[in-house]
Structure 1
Amino acid sequence: MALARNNAKEFMSDGDGSPRAILETPVSETESETDSSMDSGKEGYLMPWKSMVDVFKFKSVRKLTSIPLLSVSHDISRKGLTKKLARIRSAEDSIDIGDIPAKPSWRNFDYEELAAATKNFSAENLVGKGGHAEVYKGCLPDGQIIAVKRLMKNEKDAADRAGDFLTELGIIAHINHTNATHLVGFGVDGGLFFVLQLAAHGSLSSLLFGSAGMDWEKRFKVAVGVAEGLHYLHKECPRRIIHRDIKASNILLNENYEAEISDFGLAKWLPNKWANHVVFPIEGTFGYLAPEYFMHGIVDERTDVFAFGVLLLELITGRRAVDSDSRQSLVTWAKPLLDTNNVKDIADPRLGEAYDRTEMIRVMVTASMCVHHASSKRPFMNKVVQLLKGEEAIIDIKQNSIEPKSQLLEACDLEDYTCSSYLKDMSRHMQLIME
């Protein structure tokens, strides 16, 4: 148990029951982080930003644990790690706070306004809670229904919390897409708050895993919507954004059941000239973590692609990414069914025969490609959108999923790391955490 406490910097359960953790890496170097923030001098931002930006400019330095996360043979050398940390610092320092676009439509709410809207943040208005934030339903004096996301105080100091807040706000400032969350404003009085348009139907998690479930038409619509949203973030957004926490509870559904990607608290900028980030600590939700990210902190577009593949499996099966009873990964359970093109047994029993078989096959093929253990074998999101819409030729699932053993050595684009190795490591770490 002592080892579990040391290896798990943070472990919690999100509102959808998914285990989420911050994982420390087996190194003893320090990391200096500086993230993007808001320009207090631009039109549309008010005076409270000055103090926030001043706090944010402070570079927090965190010690990384020296206790190994997993007993694997792919240790990162100290020399190599030093270079990677230098790259991290360089990337974060290269983000100019003046580059973040102003949005005059955003309101700066004071605490009294938000308290009145949410009935003093009453329990009856609480609609979601995770490890870092609580979300409350509220109503403004003009009748607009909102969702107020209140960041919770945790082990981070004020400078780190302010930095995280400003980074997330800066990322959202660049986003303008139908399939992404819509921000109404923010609050820095009496805490840190995001004020968003309320999604009429809540999260995908609450509907998909609820007793009633969802019909296939809505599931397929969500799949395409999230795919288009991710393609936007990766390729069409003014900044190249990697979400890092795509999961059912972070997908909101509006009044038309259109998907909106939310919660950019773990999102990262990725400079165009870079192939990937190497990120420490490793943060995310068990069951959605790509092998190369889980083991080595490597982050790029295909980190999100893997998580999206798991989301597709949830839409197909109605099962969670990790079964709370057996602790089995959905990817592990579904892989044999994908390999054998077994539509009957993989489809959510609650659907019965009420689904479009062609669409189901397309989603299965796409999911199989997205959760490939080797990141180089996963498609980018533009191809994923084409596959789901039927604009890309469908290849046989067996051809896509079953490979010669020699090709399994490509996993994570690192030598001698296979799909089975990843799943064993993930299972071992989850058992350690959950004891």
Structure 2
Amino acid sequence: MEKKVDTCSPTGVLEDFFRTEEFETNSFKAPSTDSANEHNSKQSSRWRGIAQLFRSRSKKSLANLQPLENLIGKGGYAEVYKGSLPNGQLVAIKRLTKGTPDEIIGDFLSELGIMAHVNHPNTAKLIGYGIEGGMYLVLELSPNGSLASVLYGSKDKPNWGIRFKIALGTAEGLRYLHEGCKRRIIHRDIKAANILLTKDFVPQICDFGLAKWLPEHWTHHTVSKFEGTFGYLAPEYLMHGIVDEKTDVFAFGVLLLELVTGRRALDYSQQSLVLWAKPLLKKNEIRELIDPALGEDYNSRQMNLVLLAASLCIHQSSLRRPQMSQVIQLLNGNPNSLKSLRKCRIPFFRKAFHEETLNAEELSSVKS
């Protein structure tokens, strides 16, 4: 019995497209009826602009870009190479490497399907893909690499202005995935290595290999296969396999702590940044948290806002964590957001934010 293709999912629509183009082997046989071909043509028309980009040149442009000197990144599931298009544009070429051929195809279609639906200044830009000689995703190259490389691999550490810009931009990107897409997208692997930086240090969320669509009437996914990065994993995911927006919110809180402290989510001794930071947050020992590389050169108001947002995002209970739209309001110092915090029993920064809410109320009264 022939397997029915789910044309509502990104994988299903792309499989439909590959069938009509006869790109793949027996698992992608084209349907025989005219009506099926017409249906496939309609369903897959939106993918053709991407598909045609590297179709005839893929072996030359993609498969041969594997010399070691072109390798710029390597993870558990993929390798990333630096390349260029005929017009001279520099690109990052992600080649999936882990798993059986069928698993690689499935992962490739899933990630491509989600990325083709994403369009935001704070998400990575998909240019195209290639499927000859391997499974490749082609993205715009980020001149400043990843947040991880800037925070931990560079002698010149980013100043506070850049760090705050990265915090806000990443929050905007996550809000878009959770609230601005036609279907909610849970990234599931928010971490410093998956935040790319443009030449102007605009953050772009990348690597949608673990991402899931969350249907409208679903509250969460429950997964049995353990995937993700230690140090960023929410408690409910570790204990029960629960995945929803608050999974990403927790990881974003860890990211905020990295930006403030300059420490890794999990250091070389396997110490958790969250477990290290929580006692300091509780005691309001802000100076102990701040990256020594920053010295005194930071905006104390912004620092307080970021640390408060971080403490809310890493709450043990997912129900107590904010939505990303609320995080953005908080980071921007929205008066209503600050005022609402009075009702929260948060020992961290109680004095600082009591003064902050009073100042916000005074500002609001002057404006009105």
Alignment correspondent of 1:379: 322
| Deviation of 1:179 (Å) | 0.4
Alignment correspondent of 2:13: 39
| Deviation of 1:120 (Å) | 3.3
Alignment correspondent of 2:304: 361
2:86 maps to 1:136: no
| Deviation of 1:256 (Å) | 1.3
**Aligned equivalents of 1:397 and 1:344: distance in 2?**
26
| Deviation of 1:160 (Å) | 1.8
SS in 2 for 1:163: helix
User: Against the structure 1 CA distance between its residues 169 and 401, is the aligned structure 2 distance closer, same or farther, given a 3 Å change threshold?
Assistant: farther
Alignment correspondent of 1:166: 109
2:284 maps to 1:341: yes
For 1:23-422, list aligned pairs within 5 A.
Answer: 36-37=10-11, 39=13, 47-49=21-23, 51=25, 54=28, 102-106=46-50, 107-110=52-55, 113=58, 115-116=60-61, 120-152=65-97, 154=98, 156-210=99-153, 211-324=155-268, 326-391=269-334, 392-393=337-338, 395=341, 399-400=345-346
Per-residue displacement from partner, 1:268-297 (whole Å, max 9, x unpaired)?
A: 111110111101202000000000001111
User: Against the structure 1 CA distance between its residues 101 and 288, is the aligned structure 2 distance closer, same or farther, given a 3 Å change threshold?
Assistant: farther
**Aligned equivalents of 1:219 and 1:237: distance in 2?**
26
| Deviation of 1:125 (Å) | 1.5
Question: Structure 2: any 5+ residue segments left out of the alignment?
Answer: 1-5, 30-39, 349-368
**Aligned equivalents of 2:111 and 2:62: distance in 1?**
23
Kept in 2: contact 1:313–1:330 (CA 8 A):
yes
| Deviation of 1:36 (Å) | 3.5
| Deviation of 1:200 (Å) | 1.3
**Aligned equivalents of 2:278 and 2:159: distance in 1?**
23
| Deviation of 1:39 (Å) | 3.1
User: Against the structure 1 CA distance between its residues 286 and 105, is the aligned structure 2 distance closer, same or farther, given a 3 Å change threshold?
Assistant: same
**Aligned equivalents of 2:219 and 2:147: distance in 1?**
31
Kept in 1: contact 2:65–2:83 (CA 8 A):
no
Higher helix share: 2
Percent identical pairs in the alignment equals 49
User: Against the structure 1 CA distance between its residues 313 and 116, is the aligned structure 2 distance closer, same or farther, given a 3 Å change threshold?
Assistant: same
**Aligned equivalents of 1:39 and 1:184: distance in 2?**
18
User: Against the structure 1 CA distance between its residues 248 and 364, is the aligned structure 2 distance closer, same or farther, given a 3 Å change threshold?
Assistant: same
**Aligned equivalents of 1:266 and 1:41: distance in 2?**
19
**Aligned equivalents of 1:117 and 1:355: distance in 2?**
44
User: Against the structure 1 CA distance between its residues 225 and 40, is the aligned structure 2 distance closer, same or farther, given a 3 Å change threshold?
Assistant: closer
SS in 2 for 1:131: coil
| Deviation of 1:341 (Å) | 2.1
Per-residue displacement from partner, 1:343-400 (whole Å, max 9, x unpaired)?
A: 2110000000111000000000000000001111100111011111111216479942
Q: How many residues align?
A: 327
**Aligned equivalents of 2:286 and 2:327: distance in 1?**
20
Question: Structure 1: any 5+ residue segments left out of the alignment?
Answer: 1-33, 56-95, 403-435
Kept in 2: contact 1:38–1:97 (CA 8 A):
no
Kept in 1: contact 2:122–2:172 (CA 8 A):
yes
**TM-score relative to the length of structure 2:** 0.82
**Aligned equivalents of 1:51 and 1:333: distance in 2?**
51
| Deviation of 1:110 (Å) | 4.7
User: Against the structure 1 CA distance between its residues 170 and 345, is the aligned structure 2 distance closer, same or farther, given a 3 Å change threshold?
Assistant: same
**Aligned equivalents of 1:345 and 1:47: distance in 2?**
59
Kept in 2: contact 1:181–1:260 (CA 8 A):
yes
Higher relative contact order (CA 8 A, sep 6+): 1
User: Against the structure 1 CA distance between its residues 269 and 116, is the aligned structure 2 distance closer, same or farther, given a 3 Å change threshold?
Assistant: closer
Per-residue displacement from partner, 1:319-351 (whole Å, max 9, x unpaired)?
A: 000011x21100011011111222211000000
User: Against the structure 1 CA distance between its residues 334 and 142, is the aligned structure 2 distance closer, same or farther, given a 3 Å change threshold?
Assistant: same
| Deviation of 1:103 (Å) | 4.3
**Aligned equivalents of 1:345 and 1:203: distance in 2?**
26
Paired letter, 1:192: M
**Aligned equivalents of 2:106 and 2:279: distance in 1?**
44
**Aligned equivalents of 2:254 and 2:56: distance in 1?**
38
- CA RMSD between the two structures: 2.9
Paired letter, 2:102: A
